[in-house]
Amino acid sequence: LAKKYRDKRVKHIRFRQMENREITGTTRYASVNAHKGMEPSRRDDLESIGYVLVYFCKGSLPWQGLQARNDQERYKLITEKKMSISVERLCHELPNEFRDYLNYCKRLQFEEEPDYDFLRGLFKQVALKLEIEYDGVFDWNLKETETKRPDNARPNVS
């Protein structure tokens, strides 16, 4: 889920601090600011994407599997764990660009426009380092193309 950051007049939404505000979406990926009850904006969407990417790479996040008596206690434990773990520790054993991405997102101000080119560039750097071809073709596109072929044959690339 993403939060609209512009109102009907195309102005940035106003900052609000809300007590006992419930998070919209999955608590696992919510930004720290969302846990603190702050109105979410672009920075929070980007921080959430960062947690998803770390999850994809590591297979879990440190605040998963916390034992609690009820949802309210579990939410509190996740909030405390997420606030206590450093970005460096969270991104340990990942390319430094993951750390740079999350630190950048966490430094953004509520209304600040993110430098999307910089953020995309971080992951293009990772792809270059890992010798991953960044051609815009994704596995799910290949599979879709393959299923449309009558003989299910892969194209000849030679």
Q: What is the pLDDT of residue 121?
A: 96
**In tens digits, what is the pLDDT along the chain, a chain of 158 residues?**
666 767 677 777 677 777 666 776 789 999 999 998 888 888 999 999 999 999 999 999 999 999 999 988 999 999 999 999 999 999 999 999 999 999 999 999 989 999 999 999 999 999 999 998 878 787 788 866 565 555 555 444 43
> Is the separation of the CB atoms in 85 and 16 below 8 Å?
no
What pLDDT score was predicted for residue 97?
98
Q: What is the pLDDT of residue 158?
A: 39
Q: What is the phi/psi pair of residue 38, to 5°?
A: -85, 145
Residue 157, pLDDT score: 44
Work out the angle between the directed axes of helices 96-107 and 42-58 (0-180°, nearest 10). 160
pLDDT of res. 23 = 74
Q: Quick check: helix, strand or coil at residue 6?
A: strand
CB 83 within 8 A of CB 46: no
What residues are paired with 12 via a beta bridge? 6
CA atoms within 13 Å, Cβ hemisphere of 75: 16
